[in-house]
Chain A
Amino acid sequence: MIAIIDYKAGNLTSVQLALESLGQSCKITDDAKIIGDADRVIFPGDGAALSAMNSLRDLGLIDVIRNVVSDGVPFLGVCLGTQIILERSEENGGVDSIGLVPGLVKRFNPSNSMVKIPHMGWNTVSFNRAHALFSEIEDESEFYFIHSYYPAPSNSNYILGRTEYADTVFTSIIGNANLVATQFHPERSGRIGLKMLENFCDWDGSC
């Protein structure tokens, strides 16, 4: 069973529907026991870092997340879920985050005022190295993004994929041991995104 962590940060329906279309059994939950017992965990989210962290604290889920990751359970962060596993976000005047990945979350700051914020739509991802997540997916495939902040891991070993927007090449996929995390939304990225989710569901969490 796949646990989709519910921490009142955006809409999880599309994640659930995508997994169900793959025939995967999954549950949207904020229950620490269900998350702790799950075969794999997805940590999604849209919205802002501060309210997300407050909500995780209120629900008592921060240590639950740390534990599943340290226990080797295959773990997938998506969008805001990816951002708040870094150490700190520039959003909302600065927010200390979960800190599973060393580095910061920064705001796009384009010099050209014609560049739109948020970064919304389909953009290419360059794979940095081979990974089980990329099985049967071509390098430079396009995925659906919607965000104004981006993850900037301080250790390049964590970088699995990169994307360019607003004069910035940023990390669009993070990976370390049993943890992977995408800035884009695989669940909304058509056939190719669905293949990435399928790869995650088939992955044993090893590198």
Chain B
Amino acid sequence: MLSKRIIPCLDVRNKIVTKGVRFQNNIDLGDPVEMAVNYSNGGCDELVFYDITASAEGRPIDIEMVKEVAKAIRIPFSVGGGISGLDDMYDVLLAGAEKVSVNSLAVKNPEIIAEGARIFGSQCIVLGIDPVKTEKGNTCASGYEVTTRGFREHTGIDALEWAKKAEALGVGEIVVNSVDADGTREGYELTLTRMIATEVRVPVVASGGGGTPEHLADVFNLAYADAAIIASMIHTGDYTIASIKEHLKKAGVAIRQKW
């Protein structure tokens, strides 16, 4: 049976892993390569790296870091942040990343999904969506609006419609990264994750809000996510991947048990 994937997320700023709450007040945690090796040895199924300041600083993603990670671990990882076009995608994939994640860039230029899928294969192209619950009077039918640039810009785009459009353009996977839940450790955004997971045929990754193993069980069992991103709950040492998986196994979730 296909296992649900547990994916630690490493937000990297100036070669240091960091973590904030609702995209703010970040604290430094450690070396990205060292943390990647530890989590990989600890049984995570995949890793994701975001170069969180590349975009704001107008520089390309840190390719040297991607190369070092690729050399150090033997499981798939994806990379995002500061991807400005096909050349950046090529560099990241050639450096050894399995997938490349686009977010703001795809909102500005949706065709980048189709072009990336055509050149590198759909399986490499991940769309990150940063949705927020809409206020009253907003026109997004799903009740969720896409934001970009780390919650700094509202787009007026309906999050569910955007996911469907990305699927039609050939995206390989969609990460639903709830801005409202990010870093709160109060649980994943179940409603929108379930909407997207049931209406698109590509794998859906839930992100933001994971604080306990129960939260992961809920997002798999109730919202049908194919994978869940975790950050604070393991970065703090409150849980290990093994302890999360042990809980999920008891909750009836299919997980990879040996690594």
Tell me whether B227 and A121 are in contact (CB under 8 A).
Answer: yes
Asked whether A122 lies within 8 Å of B94 as measured between CB atoms, the reply is no
Q: Are B2 and A122 in contact (CB under 8 A)?
A: yes
**Is B202 a contact of A116 with CB atoms below 8 Å?**
yes
For B, the interface residue count at a CB cutoff of 8 angstroms equals 35
B130 at the interface (CB under 8 A from A): no
**B121 in contact with A116 (CB, 8 Å):** no
Given A116-B201, A123-B2, also A47-B74 (CB < 8 A): no
Residue tally, chain A, CB below 8 Å to B: 39
Distance from A177 Cβ to chain B, minimum over Cβ atoms (Å): 28
B74 touches A13 (CB 8 A): no
B259 touches A121 (CB 8 A): no
Contact B224 A122 (CB under 8 A): no
**Closest 6 A/B residue pairs (Cβ):** A13-B96, A122-B256, A47-B121, A122-B3, A123-B2, A146-B123
Could you jot down 30 A-B contacts, CB within 8 Å? A11-B96, A11-B120, A13-B93, A17-B70, A46-B121, A47-B120, A113-B201, A116-B201, A116-B226, A118-B203, A120-B226, A121-B4, A121-B227, A122-B2, A122-B5, A123-B1, A123-B3, A138-B258, A141-B258, A142-B256, A144-B75, A146-B76, A185-B76, A187-B74, A188-B76, A190-B40, A191-B74, A191-B259, A192-B258, A194-B74
A residues with CB within 8 A of B: 10-11, 13-14, 17-18, 21, 46-48, 113-114, 116-124, 138, 141-142, 144-147, 164-165, 185, 187-194
Q: Which residues of B contact A (CB under 8 A)?
A: 1-5, 40, 45, 70-71, 74-76, 93-96, 98, 120-124, 172-173, 198, 201-203, 224, 226-227, 256-259
